[in-house]
Amino acid sequence: MFLRTAVCFLIAAATCGAQIRVLIVDGQNNHAWQQTTPVLKKMLEDSGKFTVDVATTPPKGGDMSTFHPDFSAYALVLSNYNGEAWPDDVNRAFESWVKQGGGFAVVHAADNAFRKWGSYQEMTAVGGWGGRQSGPGTPMARWRDGALVLDTKEGRCGQHGAREPFAITTRNPEHPIAKGLPTIWMHAADELYNSLCGPARELTILGTAFSDPENRGTGEQEPMLMAIRYGKGRVFHITLGHDVAAMQSVGFIVTLQRGAEWAATGRVTIPVPADFPIAIEIRLRQ
Ligand code: ZN
């Protein structure tokens, strides 16, 4: 034990032993982050792969200069944050940490954040709301005829219909996160984001859903699960997870665990469990 601790200290404290060190960032969000952060923390820890700390920013209008987390102590940062800008030095520290190989996971409205922070937009690939407009340089990412299509048609980015259950279709099934998932699986009632846009570079789409025009949708296959490369860093972006109920979907839990492991390490060892949803049935965990 002492030897492993000593060796770990020497090589890579953030990924030492079996435990991947995770920092969840929250503190401002137009969603109930006080409820969802403990749920995200528990689902990561329940996999047995992660230990999780939480860094909470000051509330809206607070003194953001007091927020300066040490990203370098972690293998993964998970954002449950959609709020005011962080200090410039925190942004610079975060983008260089990811670029040098840090793992980043983006959940639901965290992809609405920081429209004016270019590196953040590159990390998340696409986002919505906050005045975003699609066009050349900020295309909408869609899945058509078996491939990613970058649609530069001009329009507002980010909308969703009423929360209903919907099916996810696995794409790029050879990717470590997607490997072994059913081709089609049901997700619990949630917001189905559509028309997200952004730089969309180094983007691999892992799961899409049909955005139904009868529920204020686009008629397109819209990205739900994404993997992005940013320098040496890996980013897992999941648009699902509006609230605790949506996060109880086994598909959300397992893809978040696997996406987090991939972003942190480049590998996925977390198996697809027996209770993973199938095409016609929602599966929940309390
Ligand atoms: Zn939402």
Q: Nearest-5° angle of CA 171, CA 176, CA 178?
A: 30
Residue 170 confidence (pLDDT):
98
Ligand 1 centroid, distance to 11 Cα (angstroms): 40
Average pLDDT of the residues in 275-283 = 93
Domain boundaries along the sequence of the chain: 2-265
Residue 7 has pLDDT above 90, yes or no: no
The phi and psi torsions of 130 (rounded to 5 degrees) equal 65, 25
Residue 1 has pLDDT above 50, yes or no: no
Question: Do residues 127 and 113 make contact, with C-beta atoms less than 8 angstroms apart?
Answer: yes
Ligand 1 centroid, distance to 160 Cα (angstroms): 9
Ligand 1 centroid, distance to 248 Cα (angstroms): 15
CATH of 2-265, one of 3.30.70.890, 3.30.70.260, 3.40.50.880, 3.50.50.60: 3.40.50.880
Ligand 1 centroid, distance to 188 Cα (angstroms): 14
Residue 73 confidence (pLDDT):
97
User: For the segment 237-268, what is each residue's pLDDT rounded down to a tens digit?
Assistant: 999 999 999 999 999 999 999 999 999 999 99
Ligand 1 centroid, distance to 236 Cα (angstroms): 18
Ligand 1 centroid, distance to 224 Cα (angstroms): 13
Contacts 24+ apart (CB under 8 A), 132-137: 132/156, 132/157, 132/158, 132/197, 132/198, 133/157, 133/197, 134/195, 134/197, 137/199
Ligand 1 centroid, distance to 9 Cα (angstroms): 40
Ligand 1 centroid, distance to 110 Cα (angstroms): 10
Ligand 1 centroid, distance to 243 Cα (angstroms): 7
- Res. 280 pLDDT band, cuts 50 70 90: confident
Residue 33 confidence (pLDDT):
98
- Res. 2 pLDDT band, cuts 50 70 90: very low
- Res. 134 pLDDT band, cuts 50 70 90: very high
Ligand 1 centroid, distance to 14 Cα (angstroms): 31
Q: Other CB atoms closer than 10 Å to residue 38's CB: what's the count? A: 14
β pairing state of 103-107 and 140-144: unpaired
User: For the segment 49-66, what is each residue's pLDDT rounded down to a tens digit?
Assistant: 999 999 999 999 999 999
Residue 14 confidence (pLDDT):
53
Average pLDDT of the residues in 261-280 = 96
Ligand 1 centroid, distance to 73 Cα (angstroms): 30
